[in-house]
Amino acid sequence: MSDLVLTRRYPNGLFEVTLNRSTALNALNLDMVKLIDAALSTASDDDQIVAVVITSSSDKAFCAGGDVRKICQQVQSDSSVELKLAHEFFELEYALDLNIRNFKKPLITLAQGYVMGGGMGVFCASEFSVACGNVTMAMPEILIGLFTDVGASKFLGNSALSQFAALTGCHLKTAAIKALSLATHQTESSAADILGKLSEFNLGSTEDQARARIDELLMGLEREVRPDPDVDEISSLEFGGDFESCVQTILKLTQHESKWISTSAMNLKFGSPQSAALNWLMQRWAADKTFDEVYALDLINVTAQIQRPDFIEGVRARLIDKDLSAKWQSAMTDPINQILPVLNPFDDQWNDLCLSQGIRLDQS
């Protein structure tokens, strides 16, 4: 178990935390979440450590998300113990993300290759989030019947591009990453090269010195991010104020001449209507909320969603049988209150939003 996450101390006060489940593209499981959190606790309590870096042992992926195949197996096991473990994974994953956001010492995450789902949660929570080399980001939960959790309904924002990213699970490269402010720094250097520089760098003797010097180092490695006409086009879209018009606007793009735009729109066309509806609702609600509040509602919604048929079917079609022919519980063009007739209550704004869409609140 301990090999899933490796740690290393450097003489200059840097503490390295490395995700080491490369055969699964570093998909997070419960053990990994516990190990990462324990490593951060060690770093927090050690006065000799002035900065922390989280990275990956693989150049193919920083982290491709959570281990949803395992979650699916646990939900289907008919075991209350296994279901509790599935719930515990999400509870501790969101707690880890919040811990990273509130971490007092400078914390750098170096991401290369695929950064998806739970990997985005770790990356975007970091004080210094560095997109390295050939990085590709996505929140692709629309394809497996989940939703954009790990705080994504807030960190993606609520622009047209934000909605497109959440509702399509599209791959995000340098221009989109910049437009959505998903990384504090972008560089052509590899994660390994930057780690080498950080490990030999004079970080200073205090956290404030380290913070300033890390930022100076990373600024010197910034890449030029060129405009992308596809990203600009999506950013200029008018989606309208309701779920149905937002969906229809994207579905009209399935025949677009741009491969990125048309492929992304097809993700929505064949994706989970429940995922789309939850993503749309969460983005509407999250704009002025704290991350504490967003993670709390994420946890309420995810514990319900993983027990709905769309999640089981989505994981089956995408990751187990791989026939890519999920049979969802509703159609993407159905009214939102048919797709999600009932949701769990939370705060007044969430409750009012659900009720305004004709969605009932579970009072049990």
Q: pLDDT (tens digit, 9 = 90+) per residue, 337-354? A: 999 999 999 999 999 999
Identify any residues that bridge with 111 across adjacent strands, giving them in sequence order: 131
**CATH architecture for residues 2-361:** Alpha-Beta Complex (3.90)
Residue type, 245: S
Model pTM score: 0.97
CA pair distance 67, 85, nearest whole angstrom: 13
**Beta strands 5-9 and 14-19, pairing class:** antiparallel
Q: Using one digit for the tens of pLDDT, what is the confidence trace for 196-254?
A: 999 999 999 899 999 999 999 999 999 999 999 999 999 999 998 899 999 999 999 99
pLDDT at residue 37 in the model? 98
> Which helix (DSSP H) or strand (DSSP E) does residue 7 occupy?
strand 5-9
The pLDDT score that the predictor gives to residue 241 is 87
Q: What is the pLDDT of residues 254-274, one digit of tens each?
A: 999 999 999 999 999 999 999
Residue 2 confidence (pLDDT): 73
Nearest C-alpha neighbor of 58 from the set 19, 31, 28, 29: 19
If you average pLDDT over residues 87-110, what whole number do you get?
98
* Residue-wise pLDDT tens digits, 292-311: 999 999 999 999 999 999 99
User: If DSSP codes are grouped into helix, strand and coil, which group holds residue 51?
Assistant: strand
Nearest to 96 by CA among 157, 38, 16: 38
- Name the CA dihedral angle for 190, 195, 201, 202, rounded to a multiple of 10 degrees: 140
Q: Which three-class secondary structure state does DSSP give residue 14?
A: strand
Structural domain spans, the chain: 2-361
**In the 8-state DSSP scheme, what is residue 127?**
S
Percent of all residues in the chain with a pLDDT value above 70, rounded to a whole number: 100
What pLDDT, on the 0 to 100 scale, is given for residue 327?
97
